Amino acid sequence: MKIIANNYEAKDVIKIVREWTDLTQKQFGESIYMSEHGIQGYELGTRRCPLEVLIKVANEHGFTITIEGKEKK
């Protein structure tokens, strides 16, 4: 699966990947050494998700998260 991050907020990327892997928030958090509450905060947007977490998620679960630049006019 390839996710073009420009099309989503970080909270949505986390949720899409978690749902794709068919894991609960607790299981998903454990897979990247985080708490269930941390994952819940990311998904709700009450906690800011740093790029490092997105990279960890992608590496752990075999996803490619792409950030594309837009051409200047």
- Out of 11-20, 29-38, 51-60, 63-72, the most confident range is 29-38
Q: What is the pLDDT of residue 42?
A: 95
Query: SS3 breakdown of the chain: % helix, strand, coil, rounded to 5?
Result: 60, 10, 35
Averaged pLDDT, 40-61: 92
Strands 2-4 and 64-66: parallel
Domain that holds residue 46: 2-66
| Residue 4, strand partner residues | 66
- Does residue 29 fall inside a structural domain? yes
- Does residue 71 fall inside a structural domain? no
Q: What is the pLDDT of residue 48?
A: 93
What total of structural domains would you count in the chain? 1
Residue 28 scores a pLDDT above 90: yes
- Does residue 73 fall inside a structural domain? no
Gyration radius of the chain over CA positions: 12
CATH code for the domain of 58: 1.10.260.40
